[in-house]
Structure 1
Amino acid sequence: MRMSRYFLPVLKENPSEAQIVSHRLMLRAGLIKQSAAGIYSWLPMGFKILRKLENIVHEEQARAGHLAMLMPTIQSADLWHESGRYDAFGDEMLRLKDRGGREMLFTPTAEELITDIFRSHVSSYKDLPLTLYQIQWKFRDEVRPRFGVMRGREFLMKDGYNFDLTKEDALHSYNRHLVTYLRTYERMGLQAIPMRADSGAMGGDNTHEFLVLAETGESEVFYDSAVTDLSFGDREIDYGSVADCAAVMEEFTTKYARTDETHDETLFNAVPEERRRRARGIEVGQIFYFGTKYSEAMGATVQGPDGKSTAVHMGSHGIGVSRLLGAIIEASHDEKGIIWPEGVTPFHAGIVNLKQGDAEADAACDALYSALELLGLDPLYDDRKERAGGKFASMDLIGLPWRITVGPRGLKNGVVELTCRRTGDSEELPPEAAVQKLAQIYAGIA
């Protein structure tokens, strides 16, 4: 993409309404524009990153054998009355009526709807286990929407639901989801720590939140610093293996890590003092096992091996896809702007032409652009007639991981400058070598 043809409305000044870094940088970098309190339009670059995050989630869900679907954003209230949650959910639910006076609601979550789909089409234990999920827009009418996409009213969420015959099977599904989430977050360049949490309105006994440590986090967390040494890495997991998934669960959840709602001072004090940490965290996902809470209330049963009708065991698993952009920026930025991890960057590299209109510089940039595209990479070429300082500032602000700088002086020596956004380190390379280095870097990105 050439910047002269792209819609990227960057701002030079910090927006007065932005209270935290991610909100400020998303507005300044032209990723979003506020439409109403807690509701945003996603501009081309923001939308592009959103789709990259969504694709990673889809790929990891597919790897685990989970099936994608799509449910409506507007639900009938009848199902919520049936489950008993219509009144219990509170004022965050946006309630409305259609022209026939029927009670409707804008989906805040979809346990009732998915349970109704299941009970309508599944009647035998032979069809289990089953995990269905969607990535869909949700709405919760927050009292005080703030912090941009971190605490918005409309948000893009992955919500998945497992149906199993027994508690043991459902707990394997729980463990399997924990594994998929660990891999998902690491691919996005995030360390998200699974922490024992409170189930809230969702119900159930088992739940873990995945939190990214950040000073601006809304949750107070307590943890053993040893959990930050854990990494999923490139290990191979058999998702059908109870033992494999349970081993990962044990490795990542036995060290003390809890949100403030479940914090236990006695257990925390048993952690060696030098490893005790108290910090803030940003929630980016949560998994639940809630047993037969919904299946019993809504008649979601199957015929078991003994011929008897039995309520299925269920769980749900959410990832805040849109809030992930904010979390990544909170965890990865500096005073100049965003620093995107390679796995989620909107463009793989930026090309800066220091002398637009110079025949040799223009030709070199065009050649680099074409060479990167031929290798399957997606460059952003700043071909604007803008001062070099302005071009560098824009590239730093939008945070592409790598920048190739092309100028007449370097070309006389047969080199361009390749710069790493994260470290600021630069090296001079022949154009072909710069392209090959970028190809090697991205070849290692899942």
Structure 2
Amino acid sequence: MRLTRYFLPVLKETPKEAQIVSHQLMLRAGLIKQQSAGVYVWLPFGLKVLKKIENIIREEQNNAGAIELLMPTMQGADLWRESGRYDDYGLEMLRIKDRHERDLLFGPTAEEVVTDVFRTYVRSYKDLPLNLYNIQWKFRDEIRPRFGVMRGREFLMKDAYSFDIDENGARDSYRKMFLAYLRTFQRMGLRGVPMRADTGPIGGDLSHEFIILAPTGESGVFYDAIYEERDWANAEIDFSNTDTGRKQREELFNEVLQSYAATDEMHDDAEFKAKVPEERRREGRGIEVGHIFFFGEKYSKPMGAKIMGPEGKEINAQMGSYGIGVSRLVGAIIEASHDENGIVWPKEITPFDLGIINLKSGDAECDALCDKLYDIALKAGREPLYDDRNERAGAKFATMDLIGVPTQITIGPRGIQNGVIEIKDRKTQEKKEIPITEFETWLKA
């Protein structure tokens, strides 16, 4: 993408309303624009990040056996009355009446809707296990929306819902999602730490929050160093519905839970010291980005989501739900990866993986070489951002650092005269020169 043809409204000054780093940088780098309290327009640059995160989540959900559908943002109140949650959910639910005076709501979650889908079409235990997920906008009427996308009212969420014949099967579905989440966050360059959690208004008796480690996180975290060392992104996890697969998942799940992890609210220092050798004890800050629940018959029983069991009797499906805050992850990643100059995107989710800076736009040789390298990068399957603006060099460098392009290539008259281009690593700030003739080889490598 040529910057002169792109819509990237960056700001030089930090808006006064932005209190935390991610909110400041998302506004300054042109990812979002506030529309109303807790509601944002996602500008092209921010939308590219959302899509990158969505794609990783989608790949890992599909790999774990979940099946995608799309549920509505507007939901009927009658479904929520069936489950008993319509009056209990509280003021966070935005309740609406249509022109026929029917009660609707802007969905804060979708247990009722997906249970209705299940009870309509699934009749036999032979159709289980089943896990349905969607990536959809949700709305919760926060009393005090703040911190940008970290605590907004409208947010993009991946929510999955599992259905099983019995508790053993449901707990195995829970383990699938638990392990898929560890893979998902690590693929984004993050370290996800699962912690036991309260079930809240979702309900149930088994729940874990997934915290990612970030220096400016909202909660204190105490954890075993194994969470930093384990390579989940490349781990071979058997997600098949075989005895071998179930056994492996149970062993991995139990292995993870043997390690200590707690937020400062639930931290037990004596237990931490007893469970974790001193050299592996870690303390830091973290941000919640995912939450999973097993709640059995909480929704299937009152809503009549029954299936015919193997013995010819109707039984209630056993259910779980699994959420990831997609839009919240954008803010969380920035909190985890930034410096004084701007965002430092992990390479897996950067909107543009290569920045080309023309130090002298309008110079025939500089323009020709930049065009050539830009075309080579496109043909190599990369996503280059070419700063071809008629701006001073300092402004171009500042923009590239602010928006966090991981690898930056600088072309200027002096370099061309010497037959070299400069390459800078955004994260380390290290620079090196390579011969112009070796660019294509370097790119492939």
Query: Which bracket does the TM-score occupy, shorter chain normalised?
Result: over 0.9
1:254 maps to amino acid: Q
More off after superposition, 193-202 vs 431-440: 431-440
Match of 1:443 in 2: none
1:388 maps to amino acid: A
2:397 maps to amino acid: F
Match of 1:400 in 2: 405
Match of 2:262 in 1: 258
RMSD of aligned residue pairs (Cα, Å): 1.6
Judge conservation of contact 1:197–1:259 (CA < 8 Å) in 2. no
How far did residue 246 of structure 1 move? 1.9
Q: TM-score, normalised by structure 2?
A: 0.95
1:334 maps to amino acid: D
Aligned counterparts of 2:375 and 2:145: Cα–Cα separation in 1: 44
How far did residue 261 of structure 1 move? 5.8
Match of 1:426 in 2: 431
Aligned counterparts of 1:100 and 1:166: Cα–Cα separation in 2: 41
Match of 1:76 in 2: 76
Aligned counterparts of 1:432 and 1:310: Cα–Cα separation in 2: 69
SS in 2 for 1:13: coil
Aligned counterparts of 1:265 and 1:77: Cα–Cα separation in 2: 45
Match of 1:214 in 2: 214
Change (3 A) 1:260 1:315: farther
SS in 2 for 1:298: coil
Judge conservation of contact 1:354–1:407 (CA < 8 Å) in 2. yes
Aligned counterparts of 1:32 and 1:426: Cα–Cα separation in 2: 31
How far did residue 267 of structure 1 move? 3.1
Deviations 1:241-296 (A, max 9, x none): 11222232223222111345654565335335735555432111111111111111
Q: 2:444 aligns with which of 397, 422, 439?
A: 439
More off after superposition, 220-229 vs 168-177: 220-229
Match of 1:338 in 2: 343
Change (3 A) 1:134 1:328: same
The 5 A counterparts of 1:5-16 are: 5-16=5-16
Q: Is 1:243 the counterpart of 2:251 in the alignment? A: no
More off after superposition, 424-433 vs 21-30: 424-433
The 5 A counterparts of 1:266-345 are: 267-272=271-276, 274=278, 275-345=280-350
Aligned counterparts of 1:292 and 1:24: Cα–Cα separation in 2: 43
More off after superposition, 126-135 vs 274-283: 274-283
Aligned counterparts of 2:264 and 2:84: Cα–Cα separation in 1: 28
How far did residue 129 of structure 1 move? 0.6
How far did residue 30 of structure 1 move? 0.5
Deviations 1:408-433 (A, max 9, x none): 11112211111110001111112353
How far did residue 394 of structure 1 move? 0.3
2:390 maps to amino acid: K
Match of 1:444 in 2: none
Match of 2:357 in 1: 352
Q: Is 1:113 the counterpart of 2:113 in the alignment? A: yes
Deviations 1:360-393 (A, max 9, x none): 1111100000001001111000000101011000
SS in 1 for 2:300: helix
Aligned counterparts of 1:221 and 1:398: Cα–Cα separation in 2: 29
Judge conservation of contact 1:198–1:261 (CA < 8 Å) in 2. no
SS in 2 for 1:296: coil
2:439 maps to amino acid: A
Q: Equivalent pairs: percent with the same residue?
A: 60
Change (3 A) 1:74 1:66: same
The 5 A counterparts of 1:31-42 are: 31-42=31-42
Change (3 A) 1:124 1:272: closer
- What residue ranges of structure 2 are gaps of 5+ in the alignment? none
SS in 2 for 1:281: strand
Change (3 A) 1:262 1:122: farther
2:180 maps to amino acid: T
How far did residue 192 of structure 1 move? 1.2
How far did residue 113 of structure 1 move? 0.5
Judge conservation of contact 1:198–1:262 (CA < 8 Å) in 2. no
Change (3 A) 1:192 1:72: same
Paired residues in the alignment total 440
Aligned counterparts of 1:416 and 1:392: Cα–Cα separation in 2: 15
1:9 maps to amino acid: P
Q: TM-score, normalised by structure 1?
A: 0.95
Aligned counterparts of 1:342 and 1:120: Cα–Cα separation in 2: 43
SS in 2 for 1:295: coil
Judge conservation of contact 2:157–2:326 (CA < 8 Å) in 1. yes
Change (3 A) 1:201 1:22: same
- What residue ranges of structure 1 are gaps of 5+ in the alignment? 441-446
How far did residue 150 of structure 1 move? 0.5
Aligned counterparts of 2:256 and 2:125: Cα–Cα separation in 1: 31
How far did residue 225 of structure 1 move? 3.9
How far did residue 303 of structure 1 move? 0.4
Change (3 A) 1:48 1:220: same
Aligned counterparts of 1:335 and 1:228: Cα–Cα separation in 2: 24
SS in 2 for 1:252: helix
Change (3 A) 1:35 1:17: same
How far did residue 35 of structure 1 move? 0.4
Change (3 A) 1:173 1:399: same
